[in-house]
A and B are shown apart, each in its own frame.
Chain A
Amino acid sequence: MHALVMLTRANIRSFVRDRTALFWTLAFPVIFILLFGAIFSGGGDTTYNVGWVDQDGTAASAGLRQAFGQVPLLHLEDGTLQASRQAMQKGALNGIIVVPAGLGASVAAASGGPGSPGAAGPSSAATLEVYTDPSQQTASTTIRQVASQVVASLNVTLTGRSPALGVTDRTLQTQDLTSAAYLVPGILGMALMQLGVFGAVPLVAQREKLILKRLGATPLPRWTLVGSNVLLRLLIGLVQAVLIVGIGVAVFGVQVLGSLWVMAALVVLGALSFISIGYVVAAFARTEEAANGIVQVIQFPMMFLSGVFFPLEIMPSVLRPIATLLPLTYLGDALRQVMVSGSAFAPLPVDVAVLAGWFLVCLTVSARFFRWE
């Protein structure tokens, strides 16, 4: 037991003093999540430049402009239709809202007799023209939604009637996770994958430098040696989890819904299955360079085919069978379900079973083929 403590302490010291290892295992995932979080969640406090073309020039159109001007998402720029279209083509504007001539008159007609029976169905409704660019998906959706919301609420004011049907916004995170909420569990899974699989490299290096052989000449039991290596990786895994989830919560406002204990258990299980994959790599790689190469070959496809960055539904169907084999798919899925109640790729017990299965298979293979020198 004393030896296990001493060896683990030695491993931790070695790890902390090796700045390169420290950077790749701790700073890298942090940089990653900050970067990807910023890129994918984008929307946060963006404003869209919208051209405002008033062809009506009545009090009503001025009122409309005021209403739109209050929407924080939009920045209005007055101009003629032609000028605005040119600006939009150059990319200076994300969209254009046109108030056609005669709008004021129609509005006046519609609201002429509030509460009077004739006002129930205005024969010619005033119409705003909204130009957007379908290639800018987020911008065009946002601008069109904002426009219809503003118009809808104006309709209520103008007609003096409360709508028969309304929609109240409530959040139920299922399909439409914010990008960050989707990313954080994925990136945590990815970090654990890298941590575990990469474990092969120092292991092979220790074998190449005969450190394992030298330890084998002492009475130190091998399980203690393996145990302390695994313990170190698990500790790093938990530190990574705290860092990544912490950044998700603090910077991107991700709400952690599930139990922290269940999450910790998943982190440990996930780390164990990837560590065991690392041992399999170490069992077959003879040199540190070879181990490094194999690790890259495993890590990169897994990173992009396991739904870490985007849901598997939008992956080409050819690639999906591959995704269903990869352990990272299930770790990401499990973490996502527990952490942010994201939609499930597979039921949680299936995720756990697949990860445990990978662990057991790799454990068996590495126990059979691992060489100490």
Chain B
Amino acid sequence: MAISPSGQDGAATPATGDGAVIEVARLRKRYGDVQAVDSISFEVHRGEIFGLLGPNGAGKTTTVEILEGLRSPDEGTVRVLGIDAAHHADRIKERVGVQLQTAALYPFLTVVEVLDLFRSFYARSRPTAWLLEAVDLGERRHAQTRQLSGGQRQRLSVALALVNEPELVFLDEPTTGMDPQARRSLWDLVLRLREGGTSVLLTTHYMEEAEQLCDRVAIMDHGRVLESGTVEALVTRRFHERAVFFDTLPGLSVPELEQLPRVERAMLEDGVTVLYTGDVSATIGALLGRAEQLGLEPRNLGIRRATLEDVFLDLTGRALRE
């Protein structure tokens, strides 16, 4: 993720609705005292992979479930594939694929039986063999789902989202519980889907996943969309700098660190201090000098580009993975 100043952020401008598979405007949803979704708006274009990012409780899942037709919105408009999700959810369900975060499956049915069962729910469906191949479950086709590992079960639930050859797929934290290899192969699958013209909305709290897959992302917290756009635009809009990080030194306060040359912001997070700077060598030189005066030595000192993680930290003051 290059941090070089690049093109304008296209997501902030309201899209026309042409070529949009999802249009959300001023959507609100409340559960008792909790405003789960607080007047959010965004669009997903046809053929793109769109990521909803945010910590648990940010309102991602509620938003996705409204889009899937599982919940009704309190206020606002929600159109999926041009259809009003609040009133015609049934028409949407035929054309979208849904993978739920924690849904279990029929424990006593085999992989093939579950796939065939779900295929019977739709007017059109993909061949079982295609689905098994897509999620690499061919060898486990006759295993009962209770005998599958967590990652295999997750892959089956992704396959179920693809059963009806959907135009739009919702993936809710699809790689949770997967080992790195399975995660990679799922990413490949998602990219292949996009090549085939399928639009994808995925929620995740893995930064790497969003950076690898998503054409555009929206960052949510406390029921609001804080910012949206391409990953690159989000990063470069905030950080022209690079990040210098080291284990927090007790003697150095944030205001003092922000006085160091070219430092634009200093953040403390989980015992690590992060300085965003326009000139890495000037900042590090000054930092080491100041530390020496105090008789301190910065440990685990390093430099990196800014990432979505930094964007999120900057927006909310919290790390995304909490």
Q: Which residues of A contact B (CB under 8 A)?
A: 2-3, 5-7, 10, 13-14, 17-18, 209-211, 213-220, 373
Contacts of B109 in A (CB 8 A): 10, 13-14
B111-135: CB near A (< 8 Å → 1, else 0) gives 0011011101111000000000000
Choose from B98, B106, B108, B116 the contact partner of A211 (Cβ within 8 Å).
Answer: B106
Residue contact B121 to A213, C-beta cutoff 8 Å: no
Is B103 engaged at the interface, CB distance under 8 Å to the other chain?
yes
Chain A proximity of B173: nearest CB distance (Å) = 13
CB distance from A4 to the nearest CB of B (A): 9
Residues of chain B within 8 A (CB-CB) of A18 are 108
Q: Does A6 contact B117, Cβ atoms closer than 8 Å?
A: yes
**Do A6 and B98 touch (CB < 8 A)?**
no
Q: Can you add 8 more A-B contacts, CB < 8 Å, to A216-B70, A217-B98, A219-B122? A: A6-B120, A10-B113, A211-B104, A214-B160, A217-B68, A218-B93, A218-B98, A219-B90
Secondary structure of the B side of the interface? loop
Q: Give the secondary structure class of A's interface.
A: helix
Instruction: State A1–B100 Cα separation when bound (angstroms).
Output: 26
Q: Is B215 an interface residue (CB 8 A)?
A: no
A209 to B106: give the CA distance in the assembly, Å: 10
Nearest Cβ on chain A to B75's Cβ, whole angstroms? 22
- Ranked nearest first, the 5 interchain pairs of A and B with the lowest CB-CB distance are A209-B104, A6-B120, A217-B98, A17-B108, A214-B103
**Residue with the highest number of chain B CB atoms closer than 10 Å, among A3, A213, A214, A216:** A214
How far is the CB of B135 from the nearest CB of chain A, in Å? 16
Chain A residue, CB-CB nearest to B95: A219
Most interface-central of A7, A209, A219, A220 (chain B CB within 10 A) = A219
Residue B309 is within 8 A (CB to CB) of chain A in the complex: no
- Say whether A214 contacts B121, CB under 8 Å: no
A300 to B234, CA, bound (A): 63
Contact of A217 among B70, B108, B114 (CB under 8 A): B70
Whether B106 lies near A14 (C-beta < 8 A) is yes
Which of A13, A215, A219, A373 is B94 in contact with, Cβ under 8 Å?
A219
User: Are A213 and B93 in contact (CB-based, < 8 A)?
Assistant: no
Which residues on the B side are within 8 Å of A209 (C-beta)? Answer: 103-104
Most buried by A among B114, B116, B118: B118
Return A18 CB to nearest CB of chain B, in Å: 6
Q: Is the CB of B70 within 8 A of A10?
A: no
Within the complex, what minimum Cβ distance (angstroms) separates B19 from chain A? 25
Chain B residues near A5 (CB, 8 Å)?
A: 120
* A217 partner residues in chain B, CB cutoff 8 A: 68-70, 93, 98, 100
Nearest CB to that of A6 among chain B residues? B120
Contact in complex: A213, B103 (CB < 8 Å): yes
Interface flags for B31-74 (1: CB within 8 Å of A; 0: not) read 00000000000000000000000000000000000001110000
